[in-house]
Structure formats: structure tokens, C-alpha cells
Amino acid sequence: MTQTTFAQALNRALRDELTADEDVLVFGEDVGQLGGVFRITDGLTRDFGEDRCFDTPLAEAGIAGFAVGLALQGFRPVIEMQFDAFAYPAFEQIASHIAKYRNRTRGKVNLPIVIRIPYGGGIGGVEHHCDSSEGYYAHTPGLQVVTPATPGDAYSMLREAIRNPDPVVFMEPKALYWSKEDLDLPVEREPFGQAAVRREGSDVTLVTYGPQVATALKAAEVAAAEEDWDVEVVDLRTIVPFDDETVAASVRKTGRAVVLSEAQGFAGVAGEVAARISERCFHSLAAPVLRVSGLDIPYPPPMLEHSYLPGVDRILDTIARLQWDDEPDTHHLPASDREQVSA
């Protein structure tokens, strides 16, 4: 196996799809000769030509609108919004046209467009460069919203997104671009709509996605070493479609849940996840579902981002609030699972 970074996995996925399908086009601001701000498209123009991977003007609405026209002509556009908040001028095209085209044509016309959005903080950036904007897209019917947390998932999920017949908002955690995994590419991981249990546990479930998966795993190790809490970590992988089955099975087993999100907490994805858990697992819960999120403020300057981002200490403090003197209700579980929870 070869150590592969998250960024290299994305680049390889684009290469493999450009090779496999001549209708795939990659374009956006600086993605051509420069290879993108984060070098995700490095070498693609050189190897596939300026007709397949090319630069656009600094006009995000134009990029998205151009993608709509190309998709209507049979192409599979993969567009890059250079930074999370740079995509906001394109939101009208995304919400009013890309998301609605299939419904507007009664299922007769689909738009196979991938919108790649580097998002989240942890890189010492400033506002407009570190937003967690997944909530806007998740709230828009007609869009699939996915966010890998490992290099293997980055490769597999980007290829699945490009082959998808409908629009996919592909959220790339910037802080993970340099993370590594031993991989033999190509790899194929779980399909969209299937979450992954990254760490087995029996006391509490941490439900999260994207950049917070690594933080959740660190918190789980500290919790085991210092507090003797056995923490399960569920990586959603795809926000839309949402894997209720895996999340509910985990929470029914542990009886406690904390939802982690780097985005602001108010009216965000974490709130939706907490509501779904409460609706489906109410009789299994030993404590209310809690959230750890970014603060309800614009993204702060670099010197303060450590206070804004959910970290291990905030996660452990939240787990400590989960009414540990109570026992989870396990009477609905099969006997074998009940014994496992009680062990």
C-alpha cells in the first residue's frame, strides 16, 4: 500500500473519471494551469488538455450556470468553488435551477453536476475562507450533500458523485487535505446513504461528519483513557441522503448521543440529526441528545479559531453532562444486545 493524502485521492479520482468518460469536464477558478488553490486538479490540464480541465472567470454564478448548460448538452461537469463562502453568489443557480431541474421537467431531464466546495476551518484562514456551509445545501431539496472524512472515502465518493445522474454537492474538509491513509487505489467504499462506524463503543455515540470525525476519534481515545467511557463514533459520510438506520442502531445500543458539527449550532445540520435521533430512539435514551458545534458567530480570525472549533475538551465536557447515574432503557433490544450493553 501507498500513503495517500486526501488531496491526492481527490486528484486521482478526477483523473480516473476523466479517463473513463470523455463527457466529464472539470472547471473553475484557477483549476487549470495552477491546479487549484489546494492543487486538487494539479496536472489535469497538462494531461487531458484545456478542453477537459480549464479556468473560468471569477464569477461563481457564471460557473454554475455554465455547468447547467453543459449538463443539458450531455456533459458531466465537475465545478470547483474555490472556497466555501465564494459559492454564495452561485446559490441562486444551485437552488433555483440545478436542484430543481428534474422536478421541473417531471423527471425527464436530470443534471449530472458535481459542485466541489472546500469548506470548514482549521487552516488559519479568515471569514469567507472557513465557512461550514453544508446546511444551506442540505436544506435544498434536489441536492445530494456528501462530505468524506478519509482519503479512501474521498476517492470513492468523488467517483460515485461524478457518475451520479443527479447533482451532488461535494463538501471537502480543507483541514483534511493533508491527512494520509495507506491505500491501493482504486478503492470502492460504501455507497451514498450509508454511514460508517469508525469506532465501536458501548457507552455513548458521537455522530459527526467531515472535519469533525478525526476530532471525535481523538476525543474517544481520551475518554477511554481518562474517564473509562467506551465511545462509539459514527461518520455520516453523506448528509443527504441520511442513514437513519445506522445512527439509530448505534444510539439504541449505547443509550446516549452527542452530535458534533463544526458549523454554527443554531438551525444547523446537527440540530436536524439530534431531532431525528430523538424521534427514533426516544425510548432508548438515558439522557437528552446533546450537541457540540461551532459558535453562532461569523468565523473568527486565525488567533481565535481554536476557541470556535469544537475540540476534545468541549466534547468530553458534553459527554460528562449525559446523566451517567441513569441506566439506558434496553428492554426493547434482543437479549444478546441487552447483555452486550450491560457488560
Residues assigned a catalytic role: 129
90 grid coordinates? 452561485
d(CA 217, CA 230): 11
> CB of 142 within 8 A of CB of 167?
yes
Instruction: Classify each residue of 138-157 as buried b or exposed e, where b means 16 or more C-beta atoms within 10 Å of its C-beta.
Output: bebebbbbbbbbbbbbbbbb
Q: Are 204 and 232 in contact (CB under 8 A)?
A: yes
Q: How far apart are CA 250 and CA 138, in angstroms?
A: 23
Question: Terminus-to-terminus CA distance in the chain, angstroms?
Answer: 37
Burial letters 69-101, b for 16+ CB under 10 A, else e: ebbeeebbbbbbbbbbbbbbbbbebbbebbbbb
**Whole-angstrom distance, CA of residue 314 vs CA of residue 318:** 6
What span, in angstroms and rounded, lies between the C-alpha atoms of 160 and 146?
11
Inter-residue contact 78 to 26 (CB < 8 Å): yes
**308-322 exposure pattern, b = at least 16 Cβ within 10 A, e = fewer:** bbbeeebbbebbeeb
3-class DSSP state of 282: helix
User: How far out from the chain centre does Cα 151 lie?
Assistant: 13
Cα distances from 297 to residues 60, 167, 269, in angstroms, run: 25, 30, 16
Cell of 171: 463538501
What b/e string do you get for 208-242 counting C-beta neighbours within 10 Å, with b at 16 or more? Answer: bbbbbbbbbbebbeebeeeeebebbbbbbbbbbeb
